[in-house]
Amino acid sequence: MIFCSGNICWYLYWQWMFCFYRHSRYTCPMFTKLTRSGGHTYVQLVESFRDETGRPRQRTVCTLGRLDEAGGQVDSLLKGLLRAKGMPASTAESPQVAFESALALGDVWALDQLWKELGFDALAGVFRKARYTTPVEHAIRVMVFNRLCDADSKLGVLRWLQTVSMPQVDTAALTHQHLLRSLDALMDHQEAVDDLVAGLLRPLVDQDLSMVFYDLTTIRAAGLSEQTDDVRQYGMAKEGLIARQFMLGVVQTAEGLPIYHEVFDGNQAESPTFMPTLKKVLGRFGHIKRLIVVADRGLLSLDNIDELGKIKLPGGQALEFILAVPGRRYGEFVDVLLAFQAKAAVAEQEIVEETCWHDLRLVVAHHTQRAAEQTTLRRERIAALETQAQAWAGKLDGQDAGLSTRGRKLSDSGAKARLYHEVKQAHLAKIVKVDLKGDLFSYAVDEAALAQAELMDGKLLLVTNVADLTPAEVVKRYKALADIERGFRVLKSEIEIAPVYHRLPERIRAHAMVCFMALIVYRVMRQRLALAKSDLTPEKALAQLRRIQRHSVRINQAEPITGISTINDIQAQVLQTLNIKKPTYDAQLTLL
């Protein structure tokens, strides 16, 4: 046994050469072996061979030095070998480990898989044909995912990208201008994009019998500037306030899948939007053999009904519809409701009847509990108004009698104005009549108007031409319209479509399209979770998956080693429920 001195002794050199020669001819492998002696650990070079009888044997060529000796022969040998390889000698020293910031992967991975499964990645082909040099589809994908994960402004999208690991997207190349130009590209090729999205959704729509729901909502817009063809107009918001806004119309299926959207001016009346939207939907989904349209109260007009009766599907079938009668028009149906009220007065649960109106079916539903609640609430408001009015009248009488009262002096005109304001706020101007023309403060409760209002309480009036549905089924179909309202709430809360800070009309429309795509992905997630009978919402599912992270470790300034955090049972169950494979990373290595 020979000990080496210096880097590599001549004896060890010739032993290696001799072993190499034998290895090349007779397969003589060599390896290192650790042995302990006298409380120290030694590194030995060992040769494996076969003796004359062919039995495997091992013999120690040399001892390289002590492993537990800092700066000893083993370290010298390693540094010499590293220099021979052209590598820095510092590699042999204690490794310098640097951990990079962890990036969220699970949520964007799941959305990316759904995006591709639905076929939205085909948008890249639309922009390739237009010879865009920047990856427009990547920018759109990033903005859609941001709406679902952590909705923010376009500048906020770039900050969000620093915290996530977007699969197959060069996030470092995306800038604020890229995002804005991608919105412009979306509008420049809107027809091609709309056709593509309709083609993706067409297999998901039942062609034998499709029931679609149409409704509008108001979207708040920020800014005071005026633009040409500006869609931001002042109008009455759904929250009951006058605000600068635009209108968003959405069509969705009975299963809750959005299939079309349209942006309208903020002061646009609801009724005129119905027919143009419906015709566009029929043009894009012409494969449907039977179509029933369900719309809310604000969309019913005699003009709409006449036009609806004339529309034919591509197969020649008549378009069918279920429309709600707006409350302001209930006065036209007093005779019908009076005949129906006798049954409603003694009913203990919801009842549904049917009659005829303008050669169409008129379905009337009465909800006993809701009627009682509406009647009670109205009478309480009237009583509160009368109490306030009597207090003001008493103060006026006291002033006329020369009595001193607390507070500012009250005039008859002031009392009338204040009571009228309170009545308008309570939406009781048709029942509580304030005499604004008289000299003295006076008011009256119109008992006939009150009786008519109570006659309408708890009532739902539906006009339809669907012949094969029972009255109860017609009511059930209409009540499913509430799901589109939930979709609007998702747009305004989780997806955060508003307030909109874009100024240009085309940018606003592009922003609405991005949010519409996000709503499609959201509803597909909801359908899959519901099908699996999961208690999770899409928001909670994404929150669970967000904990799956990508980690990177860099050792001695070398290329980083990337890995994915362990996927626990809950996260695996969420992925299975969404029918999504577990995330992988091409450069993943096992760290030991």
* DSSP per-residue letters across 104-169: E-HHHHHHHHHHHHHTGGGHHHHHHHTT-SS-HHHHHHHHHHHHHHH---HHHHHHHHTTB--TT-
If residue 235 lies in a helix (H) or strand (E), which one and from where to where?
strand 233-236
Rg (CA), the chain: 38
Contact (CB, 8 A) for 532 and 122: no
Query: Cα separation of 231 and 500, whole Å?
Result: 12
Query: Cα separation of 114 and 124, whole Å?
Result: 16
Q: Which residues of 86-103 are buried (b: 16+ CB within 10 A; e: fewer)?
A: eeeeeebeeeeeeeeeeb
| 35 part of a folded domain | yes
| 461 part of a folded domain | no
Instruction: Tell me which of 63-67, 247-251, 412-416, 568-572 is least confident.
Output: 63-67
Contact (CB, 8 A) for 41 and 68: yes
Q: For the chain, what is the mean pLDDT?
A: 86
The count of other CB atoms within 10 Å of the CB of residue 314 is 12
| 521 part of a folded domain | no
Average pLDDT over residues 15-40: 66
Query: Cα separation of 251 and 135, whole Å?
Result: 30
Average pLDDT over residues 28-40: 83
Average pLDDT over residues 369-389: 94
Contact (CB, 8 A) for 7 and 77: yes
Domain stop point among 93, 118, 134:
93
Return the ∠ at Cα 89 (arms to 96 and 588), rounded to 5°: 45
Query: At 27, is the pLDDT very low, low, confident or very high (cuts 50, 70, 90)?
Result: low
Tell me the pLDDT tens digit for each residue of 435-466. 999 889 999 999 999 998 998 899 999 999 99
Which residues have CB under 8 Å from 85's CB, separation 6+? none
Residue 69's CATH number: 3.10.450
Query: Which residue type does 387 have?
Result: T
Contact (CB, 8 A) for 245 and 218: yes
- Residue 95, helix vs strand vs coil: coil
| 58 part of a folded domain | yes
Query: At 514, is the pLDDT very low, low, confident or very high (cuts 50, 70, 90)?
Result: very high
Q: The domain containing residue 18 runs over which residues?
A: 10-93
Q: Provide the H-helix boundaries in 222-333.
A: 274-284, 302-310
Contact (CB, 8 A) for 135 and 124: yes
Q: Residue 575: is its pLDDT beyond 60?
A: yes
Query: Cα separation of 465 and 363, whole Å?
Result: 11
Exposed, middle or buried: residue 250 (CB in 10 Å: 0-12, 13-18, 19+)?
buried
Domain stop point among 438, 456, 474:
456
Domain stop point among 441, 456, 471:
456
Average pLDDT over residues 36-65: 86
Average pLDDT over residues 189-209: 90
Token digits for 268? 């646009």
CA distances from 255 to 23, 119, 413, 454, 563 (A): 72, 20, 56, 35, 39
Average pLDDT over residues 488-512: 92
| 569 part of a folded domain | no
Tell me the pLDDT tens digit for each residue of 258-310. 999 999 999 988 888 888 898 899 889 888 888 899 988 777 666 678 888 88
Tell me the pLDDT tens digit for each residue of 222-241. 988 999 999 999 998 877 78
Q: What percent of the chain has pLDDT over 90?
A: 49
Q: Residue 588: is its pLDDT beyond 50?
A: no
Residue 23, phi then psi, degrees to nearest 5: -65, -40
Which residue in 427, 210, 211, 213 sits closest to 299, CA to CA?
213
| 87 part of a folded domain | yes
Query: Cα separation of 65 and 62, whole Å?
Result: 9
Distance of CA 522 to the CA centre of its chain: 5
Return the beta strands (E) in 430-481 as ranges: 432-434, 443-445, 459-464
Query: Cα separation of 443 and 426, whole Å?
Result: 15
Q: Residue 204: is its pLDDT beyond 50?
A: yes
Query: At 92, is the pLDDT very low, low, confident or very high (cuts 50, 70, 90)?
Result: low
Instruction: Tell me which of 27-41, 217-231, 254-268, 494-508 is least confident.
Output: 27-41
| 245 part of a folded domain | no
Which residues have CB under 8 Å from 65's CB, separation 6+? 3, 4, 42, 43, 72, 73, 74, 76, 77
Contact (CB, 8 A) for 348 and 317: no
| 508 part of a folded domain | no
Enumerate the β-bridge partners of residue 58. Answer: 48
Give the largest CA-CA distance in the chain: 137
Mark residue 427 as left, alpha or beta (left: phi above 0; alpha: psi -120 to 50; beta: remaining): left
Q: So what's the pLDDT on residue 89?
A: 63
Which residues have CB under 8 Å from 271's CB, separation 6+? 298, 299, 300, 301, 303, 304
Look at the chain and report how many structural domains it folds into.
Answer: 2
Q: What percent of the chain has pLDDT over 70?
A: 91
Q: So what's the pLDDT on residue 81?
A: 79
Query: Cα separation of 394 and 381, whole Å?
Result: 20
If residue 266 lies in a helix (H) or strand (E), which one and from where to where?
none
Exposed, middle or buried: residue 305 (CB in 10 Å: 0-12, 13-18, 19+)?
middle
Contact (CB, 8 A) for 290 and 313: yes
CA distances from 210 to 46, 85, 278, 487 (A): 78, 71, 13, 19
Contact (CB, 8 A) for 286 and 315: no
Token digits for 442? 């006076």
Residues of the chain by 3-state class (helix, strand, coil), percent to 5: 45, 20, 30
Query: At 46, is the pLDDT very low, low, confident or very high (cuts 50, 70, 90)?
Result: confident
Token digits for 196? 């593509």
Instruction: Tell me which of 262-271, 309-318, 323-332 is least confident.
Output: 323-332
